[in-house]
Structure 1
Amino acid sequence: MKKLALHWQIIIGLVLGVVWAILSSKFGWSEFTLNWIAPFGTIFINLLKLIAVPLVLFSIINGVANIGDPSSLGRMGGKTLLAYLITTILAVTVGLTLVNLMVPGKLVDEQSRIDNRISYEIWAASEGLEIKDGINYLQDPAYMQRAKEISDISGKELQDAVVNEKMQTASKAKEAGPLQPLVDIVPQNIFISLGDNGLMLQVIFFALFFGISLLFIPRDKAQPVMDFMDGVMEVFLKMVDLVMRAAPFFVFALLAGVVSQMAGDDINKVTEIFKGLSWYSLAVFLGLMLMIFVVYPLIVKIFIKGISYIGFFKAISPAQTLAFSTSSSAATLPVTMECVEDNLGVDKKITSFVLPIGATVNMDGTCLYQAVAVVFLAQLHMIDLTLGQQLTIVLTATLASIGSAAVPSAGLVMLIIVLQSVGLNPAWIAIILPVDRILDMCRTVVNVTGDATVSSLIAKSEGMLNYPGRNLRKGW
């Protein structure tokens, strides 16, 4: 009997994990699931992160050092950043288009939206902010009594510990000076940076600095270091291979834990939570699916001849399924590199340079979700954002995505900054928290698919793409 392909095993693990979680909620097994099954999912993510961070360090050093010509590095780096910027802007545009066409926030019953609007005006008055559209419900006597009732409720809304924690993190980012992001990229101690996923940009900076320095020393001095880096890379890739053999079980445990945590022992609770957010979730989901199944394949079709639609997805499907289950571009990075190299025929010099940068800088799915979320929350509070304010969302979401850590739910912190950029209440993230984990899984698939697309484009432009189905010539 032919052995089932790994990505099908992972998909089966995904399905069984969700089924188990539903059964555990129905029969009251959630405590058992969270105590005895979910920890294996945590172990899985920890193992991948254990491999991912040093793999980023050594792969970038190895990739930069093997380029040989410093001028090639500058050319390739410029192409990479430009390509990632273009796909990010496309993603935000898709998100804004969908949320304006579907208007999911206006599909909620009117009384709830009026209450939300009054809450917004009370908050804006307390913060000394101008009401966005110039309409003031607080000046209407018909809503005065309701406003007094809501003002008591609003004071309690900020007590959510999760929201407060994320607001504090965003506040620190907002209060920093204009050049603080540049300062934050340069590490004081690389070992501290390696120990914190939030400092991945510092790891990339050090790796680029180290690799570039290798290019400017005599070859006989640099070669032993390069050989060492190459050997370490092989060790980490073997670690990936060993971990992935157990991926179907780990993925089962991960999904069982995530769904059980949301449902508890009452499956109806999940139904109620998702009912109010269904249209918002649908808008985000449609946007993400458009990026995965239309935008990226279209880019590949236009610029790369020979890679079929089915062939593209078949090549990267293991990375996509793993990205969905882990919600982490960084944790998926080792598998993404393997898929792009072995299945799409991208040269190792390209993958070791482009993909680690993409795992940190390219957050197309996160940007799309932020754009939809902000406009949805505005609609939910009866606020009509102008075109200029929505363009501000595009700019802020694009810049914020560069600072997003490639780990689960990091986009929520960045979403607070995006909300503040258009003068909306950052505490509103509490509204979308219940469905964030599921959508986070989907947007991570977009991020990983975008990374694979851009690395293929760069490889094609550099004459380093050798797709198994057809040899390709250099040039776009």
Structure 2
Amino acid sequence: MSLTVRIFVALVLGLGVGIALAAFATPDVTARVASIAEPIGNIWLDALQMTIIPLVFALLFTGIASAAGTASASARAAKALLWFAAIVIAGGTMSVIVTPLLLHLWPVPAEAAARLLASAGAAPAAEPLSAAQWVRSFVPSNAVAAAASGSMLPVVVFAMAFALAATRIPEGPRASLGGFFDGVVQTMLVLVDWVLRAAPIGVFALALLVGTRAGIAAIGVLAHYVAIVIIVQIVLIAGLYLLIAVVRPVPLLRFARAILPAQIVALSTQSSIATLPAMVEVATQELRLPQPIARLVLPLAVSVFRATSAPANLAVVVYVSYLHGVALDPWALAAGVAVAFAVSIAAVGLPGQVSFITSVAPIALAMGVPIVVLPLLIAVELLPDLFRTIGNVTADLAVTTVLAKGEDETEPTAATT
């Protein structure tokens, strides 16, 4: 049984036991069980949180250094990276507009949200920032202090600046830094793996608490959350089709029919990398794109590009902010888009459970949104993750098609995988 399935089973069992206790057990029994479950869940959550900042910093360094090296080696690769960045930023901006609109048109069930909020604990008070304060918050006066206090936005800015500065130093020290941070990444991933092995226990404990305090209404909130995140990703995918319709290097219907097999492979594998052979075949055979473009852009895309990362993760954070009643002003939303863009680089190539935490938690911290419910949301990522992969594959092929505009089409040839 995979870890994802075990976490989901733990969620279902925890909610079921909690709901049963609330319905049939005496208050004293329920309180005693909750007093045991609460520290277990909180210890596991703390263990997960302690990995976030060092892992994100190291991943940002290695990801940016790799992207910068690729861009300097090829003008075509640099153009592809610019398209990747534009789509991620546009998708994030779309998400912080569409998600609140969806939640206005289809609100979180009020009673269920109140119960879930009570089970998760109070949210920190939000302090409005002026424009000057917001801009200043990007630059840490003390990077170590910012990391120690969990101030994610200045940490991300410092990590990006540090990584870009490292590309300007001689090759020897740069390679040493790269080796060091690669070692940090590998070590932190081992640590995260240890923490995630205990995820079924932690999620069961947290879900039990939610079940005892929120009751069966918690199930409705989780289903509502899944639907909202999926809708946001569908909007992103529709935008990618619109991009092809506007740029028109190939007719839209031809593009849609051609990429369908790759989308089906993505649906079955939930892995963009595993879909690469199918994408190369689609690009060279069905779309008849120049092979030099397809064989450069597609491997680059599956290595450094996750189109759905920013919009989906921002949708998660905005949804959680609504659960906790945290008002997000324009500065918080803009900070969220900036951090979501940065951590989308760091999340590339990580397992789903790891990338969910390392991508969503920094955004939530930067926007002042509590993260205590994130472990429950990991457990229901099964469906949203399908749309993440479909969206990523669609974006990879869309950018490849756009970059082929003006190039000579290739004749159909046997695809090499």
- TM-score bin, normalised by smaller chain: 0.5 to 0.7
Within the candidate set 179, 189, 200, 1:188 is matched to 179
Name 1:345's counterpart in structure 2.
288
The answer to whether the Cα contact below 8 Å between 2:226 and 2:383 also exists between their aligned partners in 1 is no
The answer to whether the Cα contact below 8 Å between 1:360 and 1:402 also exists between their aligned partners in 2 is no
Aligned: 1:395 with 2:390: no
Root mean square deviation of aligned Cα? 4.4
Matched ranges for 1:239-388 at <5 A: 275-292=220-237, 294-305=238-249, 307-388=250-331
Amino acid aligned to 1:304: R
Shift of 1:350: 1.1
The answer to whether the Cα contact below 8 Å between 2:80 and 2:297 also exists between their aligned partners in 1 is yes
| CA distance, structure 1, for counterparts of residue 310 and residue 357 of structure 2 | 11
Amino acid aligned to 1:434: A
Q: TM-score, normalised by structure 2?
A: 0.59
Shift of 1:448: 0.9
Amino acid aligned to 1:365: T
Name 1:217's counterpart in structure 2.
none
Matched ranges for 1:151-190 at <5 A: 178=159, 179=161, 181=163, 187-188=178-179
**What whole-Å deviation, never above 9, does each CA across 1:429-448 have from its counterpart, x for those lacking one?**
12322321211111111111
Q: Which has the larger radius of gyration?
A: 1
**What whole-Å deviation, never above 9, does each CA across 1:54-88 have from its counterpart, x for those lacking one?**
xxxxxx9xxx9xxxxx99x6431232112111211
| CA distance, structure 2, for counterparts of residue 366 and residue 298 of structure 1 | 19
Name 1:437's counterpart in structure 2.
382
| CA distance, structure 2, for counterparts of residue 371 and residue 403 of structure 1 | 15
Corresponding residue SS for 1:338: helix
Corresponding residue SS for 1:334: helix
The answer to whether the Cα contact below 8 Å between 1:104 and 1:283 also exists between their aligned partners in 2 is no
Aligned: 1:450 with 2:379: no
Amino acid aligned to 2:380: V
Q: Structure 1 pair 348/411, CA: closer, same or farther in 2 (3 Å)? A: farther
The answer to whether the Cα contact below 8 Å between 1:98 and 1:283 also exists between their aligned partners in 2 is no
The answer to whether the Cα contact below 8 Å between 1:346 and 1:459 also exists between their aligned partners in 2 is yes
The answer to whether the Cα contact below 8 Å between 1:329 and 1:359 also exists between their aligned partners in 2 is yes
Name 2:366's counterpart in structure 1.
421
Shift of 1:389: 0.6
| CA distance, structure 2, for counterparts of residue 133 and residue 442 of structure 1 | 34
| CA distance, structure 1, for counterparts of residue 219 and residue 284 of structure 2 | 39
| CA distance, structure 2, for counterparts of residue 342 and residue 460 of structure 1 | 16
**What whole-Å deviation, never above 9, does each CA across 1:323-353 have from its counterpart, x for those lacking one?**
1222221222222122212211122211222
| CA distance, structure 2, for counterparts of residue 382 and residue 106 of structure 1 | 16
Corresponding residue SS for 1:330: coil
| CA distance, structure 2, for counterparts of residue 79 and residue 335 of structure 1 | 23
Q: Structure 2 unaligned segments of length 5 or more: list them.
A: 1-11, 13-65, 130-147, 168-173, 190-203, 205-210, 413-417
Shift of 1:172: 11
The answer to whether the Cα contact below 8 Å between 2:112 and 2:220 also exists between their aligned partners in 1 is no
The answer to whether the Cα contact below 8 Å between 2:109 and 2:221 also exists between their aligned partners in 1 is no
| CA distance, structure 2, for counterparts of residue 282 and residue 111 of structure 1 | 18
Percent of aligned pairs with the same amino acid: 21
Give aligned pairs, total.
294
Amino acid aligned to 1:337: V
Q: Structure 1 unaligned segments of length 5 or more: list them.
A: 1-24, 26-59, 65-69, 125-129, 135-167, 199-261, 263-268, 469-476
The answer to whether the Cα contact below 8 Å between 1:350 and 1:455 also exists between their aligned partners in 2 is yes
| CA distance, structure 2, for counterparts of residue 457 and residue 397 of structure 1 | 24
| CA distance, structure 1, for counterparts of residue 332 and residue 299 of structure 2 | 32
Aligned: 1:412 with 2:403: no
**What whole-Å deviation, never above 9, does each CA across 1:86-107 have from its counterpart, x for those lacking one?**
2112221232222111217983
Shift of 1:364: 1.5
| CA distance, structure 1, for counterparts of residue 101 and residue 291 of structure 2 | 42
Name 2:93's counterpart in structure 1.
93
Q: Structure 1 pair 416/180, CA: closer, same or farther in 2 (3 Å)? A: farther
**What whole-Å deviation, never above 9, does each CA across 1:111-154 have from its counterpart, x for those lacking one?**
44345556777463xxxxx43479xxxxxxxxxxxxxxxxxxxx
The answer to whether the Cα contact below 8 Å between 1:360 and 1:404 also exists between their aligned partners in 2 is no
Aligned: 1:103 with 2:103: yes
Moved more, 109-118 or 423-432: 109-118
Q: TM-score, normalised by structure 1?
A: 0.52
Name 1:20's counterpart in structure 2.
none
The answer to whether the Cα contact below 8 Å between 1:88 and 1:363 also exists between their aligned partners in 2 is yes
Q: Structure 1 pair 434/466, CA: closer, same or farther in 2 (3 Å)? A: same
Shift of 1:408: 4.5
| CA distance, structure 2, for counterparts of residue 173 and residue 86 of structure 1 | 20
